[in-house]
Chains A and B, each alone.
Chain A
Amino acid sequence: MKMKANTKLVLTTIVVIAVAVLVSIFALSSWQTPTQQTTATYTATTETTPTPTTIQLSGMINGAGATFLNPQMQAWASKFYELTGGRIQVNYQSIGSGAGQAKFREGVLDFAGSDPPLKADIYNEFKDKGGIIQFPVVIGTIVIVHNIPTVESGKLKLTGEVVAKIYLGEIIYWDDPEIKALNPELNLPHEKIIAVHRSDGSGTTRVFTAYLAKVSKDWKDKVGSDFTVAWPVDQLGNGVGGKGNEGVAAAVKQNLYSIGYVETAYAYEVGLKVALIQNRDGNYVLPTREAVESAAKTLVTVLPRAYEDWSHIFPDETVDAPGKESYPITSFSFVILRQVYDDPVKVAILKEFFQWVLTEGQKDENIVKGYEPLPPEVSMVGLEGLKLLRTT
Chain B
Amino acid sequence: MLGVISSLAIISAIPIFAIIINIYSEGARHLTLNFLIDLPPPPVSGKSGGIGPALVGSLILTLLAVAIGGSIGFFTGLYLSEFSHTRLAHYTQIFLQIMVEFPTIIIGLFAYMVLVAPLKRFNALAGAFALSIVIIPYIALNVREAYRSIPYTLKEAAFSLGVSAPIAYLRILLSTARRGVLTALLIGMAKAAGETAPLLLTILGTTFTYFGGLDQPINAIPLLIYNFALSPYERWHQVAWGAAAVLLTITLMIFIISRLVVREVKV
Smallest Cβ-Cβ distance to B217: which chain A residue: A62
In Å, the complex CA distance between A38 and B211 comes to 11
CA distance A91 to B209 in the complex (A): 8
Contacts of B230 in A (CB 8 A): 243-244, 246-247
Q: How far is the CA of A246 from the CA of B168 in the complex (A)?
A: 58
For residue A265, which residues in chain B have a CB less than 8 angstroms away from its CB?
232
Residues of chain B within 8 A (CB-CB) of A108 are 116-117, 120-122
* Residue pair A91, B217 in contact (C-beta under 8 Å): yes
CA distance A351 to B79 in the complex (A): 55
A5 adjacent to B75 (CB under 8 Å): no
A194 to B204, CA, bound (A): 34
Quick one: given A35-B213, A38-B212, A86-B208, are A78 and B159 in contact (CB under 8 Å)?
no
* Contact A4 B206, beta carbon cutoff 8 Å: no
Contact of A91 among B78, B205, B213 (CB under 8 A): B205
Expressed in whole angstroms, the minimum distance between the Cβ of A141 and any Cβ of chain B is 16
List chain A residues, Cβ under 8 A from B44. 71, 75, 368-369
* Cβ contact within 8 Å between B121 and A93: no
Residue of B nearest to A71 (CB): B43
Contact B125 A60 (CB under 8 A): no
Min C-beta distance of A262 to chain B, whole Å: 9
B129: which A residues are within 8 A, CB to CB? 24
B207 contact from A20, A91, A249, Cβ within 8 A? A91
Which residues in chain A, 46-84, are within 8 Å of chain B measured between CB atoms?
60, 62, 64, 70-71, 74-75, 77-79, 81
Residues of B with C-beta under 8 A to A17:
71-72, 75
Tell whether B231 is near chain A: CB-to-CB under 8 Å: yes
Using a CB-CB cutoff of 8 Å, which residues 158-191 of chain B contact chain A?
159, 164-166, 168-169
Q: Which DSSP category, helix, strand, loop or mixed, fits chain A's interface?
A: helix
The minimal Cβ–Cβ distance linking A276 to chain B, given in whole angstroms, is 22
Q: A35-B215, A74-B42 are in contact. Are A60 and B121 (CB under 8 A)?
A: no
Residues on B with beta carbons closer than 8 Å to the beta carbon of A245? 232
Which residues of chain B in 219-263 are interfacial with respect to chain A, using CB atoms and an 8 Å cutoff? 227, 230-233
Q: CA of A64 to CA of B204 in the docked complex: distance in angstroms?
A: 8
User: For A24, what are the chain B residues with a Cβ–Cβ distance below 8 Å?
Assistant: 68, 125, 129
Q: What residues on B are CB-neighbors of A185 within 8 Å?
A: none
Neighbouring A residues of B227 by C-beta, 8 Å: 93-94
Q: Is A6 within 8 A of B216, CB to CB?
A: no
Report yes or no: B168 in contact with A91, Cβ–Cβ below 8 A: no
Which residues of B40-57 have CB atoms within 8 Å of chain A's CB atoms? 41-45
Chain B count of residues within 8 A CB distance of the other chain: 47
Measured CB to CB, the nearest residue on chain A to B49 is A78
Mark the stretch among A8-16, A230-238, A289-297, A322-330 that contacts chain B.
A8-16
- How far, in Å, is A345 (CB) from chain B's closest CB? 13
B43 near A368 (CB under 8 angstroms)?
yes
| Residue pair A246, B231 in contact (C-beta under 8 Å) | yes
Q: How far in angstroms is the closest Cβ of chain A from B57?
A: 12
B83 at the interface (CB under 8 A from A): yes
Contacts of B37 in A (CB 8 A): none
B42 touches A78 (CB 8 A): yes
Least distance between A252 CB and chain B CB atoms (Å): 12
B105: CB under 8 A from chain A? Answer: no
Q: Is A269 an interface residue (CB 8 A)?
A: yes
A92 at the binding interface (Cβ < 8 Å) = yes
**Contact of A81 with B71 at beta-carbon distance under 8 Å, contacts A108-B120, A249-B232 already known:** no
A contact residues around B233 at 8 Å (CB): 71, 269
Could you tell me the distance between the alpha carbons of A86 and B227 in the complex, rounded to whole angstroms?
A: 23
A92 to B43, CA, bound (A): 13
Complex interface: stretch among A26-34, A161-169, A380-388: A26-34
Tell me if B96 counts as interface (CB < 8 A to partner A): no
Give the complex CA separation of A92 and B219 in angstroms: 12
> Does A184 belong to the interface (CB within 8 Å)?
no
Q: How near does chain A come to B114, taking the closest CB pair, in angstroms? A: 11
Contacts of A244 in B (CB 8 A): 230
A contact residues around B78 at 8 Å (CB) = 9, 13
Contacts of A89 in B (CB 8 A): 206-209, 212
Q: Do A8 and B213 form a contact, CB below 8 Å, given A16-B71, A74-B42?
A: no
Q: Are B168 and A5 in contact (CB under 8 A)?
A: yes
A123 to B168, CA, bound (A): 62
Any chain B CB within 8 A of the CB of A122? no
Q: A75–B45 contact, CB under 8 A?
A: yes
Q: How far is the CA of A217 from the CA of B151 in the complex (A)?
A: 79
Q: Is the CB of B165 within 8 A of A75?
A: no
Residue B214 is within 8 A (CB to CB) of chain A in the complex: yes
Q: Whole-angstrom distance between the alpha carbons of A319 and B24 in the complex?
A: 47
User: Do B205 and A93 touch (CB < 8 A)?
Assistant: yes
Residue in A closest to B229 when the chains form the complex, CB atoms? A246
List of B residues within 8 angstroms of A368 by Cβ: 43-44
Q: Is the CB of B42 within 8 A of A75?
A: yes
User: In the bound complex, do residue A16 and residue B207 qualify as a contact, i.e. CB atoms below 8 Å apart?
Assistant: no
CA distance A89 to B206 in the complex (A): 9
Q: Is A266 an interface residue (CB 8 A)?
A: yes
Closest residue of B by beta carbon distance from A81: B208
Q: B82 at the A/B interface (Cβ < 8 Å)?
A: yes
Pull 15 A–B residue pairs with CB atoms less than 8 Å apart, ordered by A.
A9-B169, A10-B79, A24-B125, A27-B214, A28-B125, A60-B212, A62-B122, A89-B206, A90-B208, A92-B207, A244-B230, A245-B232, A247-B230, A270-B232, A368-B43
Other A-B pairs beyond A13-B79, A78-B41, A78-B45, 14, CB < 8 Å: A5-B159, A5-B164, A9-B79, A17-B71, A24-B125, A60-B209, A71-B233, A78-B42, A81-B39, A81-B208, A89-B207, A92-B207, A108-B116, A368-B44
- The chain A residues found within 8 Å of chain B, CB to CB, are 1, 4-6, 8-10, 12-13, 16-17, 20, 24, 27-28, 31, 34-35, 38, 60, 62, 64, 70-71, 74-75, 77-79, 81, 86, 89-94, 106-109, 243-247, 249, 265-266, 269-270, 368-369
